[in-house]
Structure 1
Amino acid sequence: MISAVESLKNLCWHYCPLPSSITGKFQDVLISAKAKSTNSFHSFHQFIPECENEIFPYYERHEKGFDRSRSHGRMHIARSLIFCEVMGRYYHFLGIPVNFNLMRRAIGLHDAGRQGNTEDVWEKDSAKILKKHLLKKGTGSFVASKQADIVVKDGSQKEYPIEYALVQSGDCLDIMRVLMGLGEKNGFRKELLTFLNHSHAFPINKAKCHSFRDQLIEEVWDFVQITEKKKFAPEFSKNENFMHHLFQVIENNRKKHPVLSIALAKDSYDFASLSFPSIKKQNFFMRVIFFPFNVIRAILILIIQLVPYRPSMR
């Protein structure tokens, strides 16, 4: 019989390095990147209505059905979207072209095809939903098929390796909401995070890459803890203004979240002036003390998931 912790690990998209079949293409794009993104990241706030009105309804239905614990619900999607936006903007700053529209829609719909909170065996269903959405937005059928494939982790060659890596990284960061083992941030293993994990290929020194990456991870951990406690709050029960309320959490913590605050900028952002507060790391003694409480929390979540869901016959 598998443990509660092992079962909870299967609730999430397992984070891992880029598959070897696309690593080469990913590196080629990074090394040769000279062109700026053609679709400006400033359109993020224009994307919010699309997210709330066309993407969130999938997850709202899930939350009323199999996902009553909201493990893969709107809060997970909204946070992952913000993380992707921040990482995408940093790549943009480095001169690496990013298809922001594809990235946003892909992270938004990467769990749309789920039918349960176990290991994700519905990725191809999510890809079909994403393709349908892309077609609706005017993307041609052939291109839409290639683009939708980035939510399927099958080790195959991806035509959009940057966006694939960003979507994987955004989902990977939000895995901190789940207990993964003894260690900081619920056992999160930052060495497996793809974002800025190929620093030799970037037109910026390695120290700056590591500094930005480490700060992002610290802020994500704090943000996840704050928002996990709020995901059942009334302001997050409706799709309308969901993102506004989430942005407000960042706004209220700007000093602690300078990197996440990048997502709030509607105009240009001066990355060069970005400064980070000192990072406070939890010592080993405190991790040992809190580990039993995290295990109990994990077991309670698992019990909720194991209670059979009986849809209404009405």
Structure 2
Amino acid sequence: MTLRQLEAFRALMISRTVTKAAEFLCISQPATTRLISDLEASVGFPLFERRQGRLFPTHEAEELFKEVERSLLGVKEIAYAASQIQKAQKGQFHIAAAPCLASNALPFLLHHFMQTHTDLSVKLTSHASTTIMDMVQNAKCDMGMVILSSEYPSPLGEHLFSLDSKIAIPRNHPLAHKSEIHVTDLQGQTMIMGSHDMDTRQAFGLLLVSHGIKVFSNIDTNTSQTMCAFVESGQCLAIVDAITVLTYPGNNIVFRNFSPRLMVHFSALYRADKPTLGVMRDFVHYVKTSVTLAIAQNGKLL
């Protein structure tokens, strides 16, 4: 007994003529008749009787048809699920992301991505990059999007993009008219600093020391979005990542190039204990292309 024989049997039960059954199966009439004969030989009893030139199912055929319908329905459901998986339209995953990504950029990108992936279910949480690396390693999330000190992630990671940090300045600040701010321009300025576990905080601190620059700072915070809010509210400056520049909605703030360059490396990290869903890699590709395009156009992501 084969699946093709059962399909021919079902087609004949519904159409009641070999001609229509053959058309439904896209095969010849002799091929359809042969499939039915082979099925009858397999089950050991006749399935149809011919009366006055017409086919009538036997009682045994009616009983068998009920089981065939249930079985073929299951096959169709499996085939549909397989097609959905193949098209990366079906999946559920948890993304743990660095705050600068999780606050605005990823919600915006997920909203647009899920319009074409309607069966997708996503959980998005925000954590420090060091915490996310532990979460991925201990299977507490499906994927991490982090800031690393290098553009080369682990073998289970994928580099997203490396972007220059910018300096955030109040619109009415004396330095706002400059297109690029050098570290020496910061002598005596008031700065909002990132928390000590932020890579940019450490790199910026080393840069100040190496150039003998002293700044005033009495506020620390752990997100670039919060740093920008402080900048908008007064006469202070902040070094922020380029993702924040693409998504921050404020009007009383400007972002300028900063030198020497402070690069921020973004990466996606995947779990080692199970295969990565195709839809996850599709989303990572979507994030990479969307951010790269926004940077190239010198515009906003939102």
Q: Same fold (TM over 0.5)?
A: no
Q: Could you say which structure has the larger radius of gyration?
A: 2
Please tell me the TM-score bracket, short chain as reference.
under 0.3
| More relative contact order, 1 or 2 (CA 8 Å, 6+ apart) | 1
Structure 1 or 2: more strand by fraction: 2
> Normalization by structure 2: what TM-score?
0.26
Structure 1 or 2: more helix by fraction: 1
